[in-house]
Amino acid sequence: MRANLLRLRRAPSGGPPRRRRFLRASVLRLVLLGGVAAALVVFDALEIEIFREWREALLDPAEFTLCGKANRQNCVIDGDTIRHNGVVVRILGIDAPETRDFECESERALGRRATRRLLELINAGPVAVVYRGGRDADKYGRKLRVLERDGRSLGDMLVAEGLARRWDGANRSWCR
């Protein structure tokens, strides 16, 4: 019986022996799975490289303006959000007043001041976009990063000037 199992038999159709056909199909599956695995490794490496790029980037201040219809690549959206190379970046750890969905006119005015000040700070010289660990992005897909110049956070500067506050996870009103 053992000899019978090892013997290659012709398939009923007259094609190659069953064992050879099984082995060929198995090898083909392995090659395909290996190709998929290799593609996943390459894709993973690309994702890691993209992730590294967003771990720390350097902003070119000459390119930044206020966001509008003409500029959607490198611009300041509001007092705690920028767009760098088309990617939206939320400044980690601060909350600035809203300029679009504001509750009162004083929030809108303070939000505009914070937006203009953030633009001034970015345009004052090289700014590093730094990933500090933790979540990579918020629920809206914005990258969560710290903006720094010479090791000092631009968000901390806005807080010190009264144009933003520390983000504590609570949505609190800016209106008095």
Instruction: Out of 31-35, 138-142, 147-151, 168-172, pick the least confident.
Output: 31-35
Q: For residue 40, what are the contacts with CB-CB under 8 A and spacing of at least 6?
A: none
Of 17-26, 35-44, 97-106, the one with minimum mean pLDDT is 35-44
Torsion of CA 129, 132, 136, 140, to 10 degrees: -70
Predicted local confidence at residue 13, as pLDDT:
57
Q: How confident is the model at residue 54 (pLDDT cuts 50, 70, 90)?
A: very low
Considering only residues 96 and 21, tell me which one the structure prediction assigns the higher pLDDT: 96
Q: Is 142 a residue of the active site?
A: yes
Q: Is 90 a catalytic residue?
A: yes
What is the chain's mean pLDDT, rounded?
78
Task: Give the tens place of pLDDT for each residue, 76-123.
Answer: 999 999 999 889 999 999 999 998 888 899 999 999 999 999 999 999
pLDDT for 27 beyond 70: no
Residue range 127-137: mean pLDDT, rounded: 90
- E strands present in the chain: 56-59, 65-66, 75-78, 81-84, 87-91, 94-95, 127-130, 143-149, 152-153, 165-166
Which carries the bigger pLDDT value, residue 6 or residue 132?
132
Residue-level pLDDT at 51:
46
Residue 12's identity, in one-letter code, is P
State the catalytic residue, choosing from 98, 116, 148, 149: 98
Position with higher pLDDT, 60 vs 164: 164
Marked catalytic residue, from 90, 108, 113, 145: 90
Residue 3 confidence (pLDDT) = 46
Neighbours of 23 (CB within 10 A): 12
Residue of 108, 117, 142, 145 marked catalytic: 142
Q: What percent of the chain has pLDDT over 90?
A: 42
